[in-house]
């Protein structure tokens, strides 16, 4: 490696180290030289309550997507990542983000309703939580859950969907015993061990459960999955260009390379109305 390249790497590493030290935990700003005539767009990322990756890993994962947005809108993009949902929620309240990607969809829906953000795209496959039971369980229909123990993850989107589903089925608080646990995986373990009769899980754990030969008793109402929204400060024309670009990423090799690290095969158009309907369903 040439001496010039070594010096360049040293300077970049030193700059990133200073940036990380100066920022609050959980956020990593993308360093870019921005044209003086154009303010950078702030693009924030949160992968939900159970993310176990580091800010550096998230930053690397979404850099390709940020570059695609930058090329589309002809403006510099500053990428910020938030592994912790609590910090992400606090920053959302400040309304300083221009573009937001989130897996905690009810938070984004709240921004659309209360802060006039606009829906841009969502993943093609909806979010469908599931009520799981062991293979051979005597619980064969929703009504059989009466008098049983149901395990749910604590204070996450899946919880709200599970509770809303029970409500729509006519269950009262006294009809079932609901226990809560911190991690989605612990819900499945509770059902396997017999500590719970039924578990409410996210789509990933639901699929893993089916692959083991077990049963999904009931699925919650399909709702928008991982989504991207834009601030009210972004013009309709810009939001439209952003939407078209994100939808078309699947059609080019460079676009596919941006989608692959984030685990999204393709985006489809999203509308404000479906997020407002989601909030009504979960009672927020």
Q: Computed from CA positions of residues 83, 86, 92, 94, in that sequence, does the dihedral angle turn out positive or negative?
A: negative
116/50 same-domain check: yes
Cα–Cα distance between 236 and 88 in angstroms, integer? 25
117/144 same-domain check: no
143/233 same-domain check: no
Cα–Cα distance between 168 and 161 in angstroms, integer? 11
228/110 same-domain check: yes
Secondary structure letter of residue 50 according to DSSP: T
Q: What is the pLDDT of residues 157-187, one digit of tens each?
A: 999 999 999 999 999 989 999 999 988 789 9
Residues in the chain, how many?
Answer: 284
17/156 same-domain check: no
Q: What is the pLDDT of residues 101-153, one digit of tens each?
A: 998 899 999 999 999 999 999 999 999 999 999 999 999 999 999 999 999 99
Helix H or strand E encompassing 64: helix 55-73
Q: Point out the domain boundary residue: 219, 240, 271.
A: 219
55/109 same-domain check: yes
161/115 same-domain check: no
Contact 275, 108 (CB under 8 A): yes
> Total domain count for the chain?
2
> Rg for the chain (alpha carbons), in Å?
21
Question: Is residue 214's pLDDT more than 80?
Answer: yes
270/209 same-domain check: no
Q: What is the pLDDT of residues 216-263, one digit of tens each?
A: 999 999 999 999 999 999 999 999 999 999 999 999 999 999 999 999
17/75 same-domain check: yes
Q: What is the pLDDT of residue 118?
A: 96
210/244 same-domain check: no
Cα–Cα distance between 218 and 200 in angstroms, integer? 9
Contact 94, 38 (CB under 8 A): no
18/112 same-domain check: yes
CATH code of the domain covering residue 84: 3.40.190.10
Given the DSSP bridges, would you call strands 149-153 and 198-201 parallel, antiparallel or unpaired?
Answer: parallel
Q: Point out the domain boundary residue: 219, 254, 273.
A: 219
Cα–Cα distance between 233 and 266 in angstroms, integer? 26
167/184 same-domain check: yes
**Which pLDDT band holds residue 2 (cuts at 50, 70, 90)?**
very low
Cα–Cα distance between 151 and 131 in angstroms, integer? 9
Contact 126, 242 (CB under 8 A): no
Q: How is residue 67 written in tokens?
A: 């570059």
Q: Domain range for residue 162?
A: 130-219
Q: Point out the domain boundary residue: 178, 199, 219.
A: 219
Cα–Cα distance between 110 and 92 in angstroms, integer? 10
């Amino acid at each position: 490696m040439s001496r010039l390249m070594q010096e360049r790497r040293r300077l970049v590493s030193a700059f990133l180290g200073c940036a990380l030290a100066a920022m609050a935990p959980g956020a990593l700003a993308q360093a870019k030289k921005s044209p003086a005539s154009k303010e950078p767009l702030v693009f924030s990322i949160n992968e939900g309550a159970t993310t176990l990756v580091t800010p550096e890993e998230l930053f690397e994962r979404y850099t390709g997507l940020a570059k695609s947005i930058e090329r589309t809108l002809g403006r510099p993009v500053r990428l910020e990542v938030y592994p912790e949902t609590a910090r992400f929620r606090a920053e959302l309240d400040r309304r300083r983000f221009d573009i937001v990607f989130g897996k905690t969809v009810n938070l984004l829906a709240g921004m659309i309703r209360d802060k006039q953000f606009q829906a841009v795209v969502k993943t093609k496959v909806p979010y469908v939580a599931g009520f799981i039971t062991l293979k051979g369980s005597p619980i064969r229909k929703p009504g059989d859950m009466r008098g049983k123990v149901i395990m749910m993850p604590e204070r996450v989107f899946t919880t709200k969907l599970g509770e809303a589903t029970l409500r729509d089925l006519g269950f009262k608080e006294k009809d079932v015993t609901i226990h809560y646990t911190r991690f989605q995986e612990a819900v499945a373990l509770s059902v396997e061990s017999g500590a719970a009769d039924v578990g409410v899980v996210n789509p990933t754990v639901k699929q893993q459960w089916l692959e083991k030969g077990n049963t999904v008793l009931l699925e919650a109402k399909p709702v928008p999955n991982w989504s991207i929204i834009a601030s009210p400060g972004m013009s309709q024309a810009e939001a439209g260009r952003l939407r078209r670009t994100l939808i078309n990423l699947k059609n080019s090799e460079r676009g596919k390379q941006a989608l692959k690290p984030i685990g999204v095969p393709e985006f489809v158009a999203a509308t404000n109305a479906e997020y407002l309907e989601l909030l009504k369903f979960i009672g927020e």
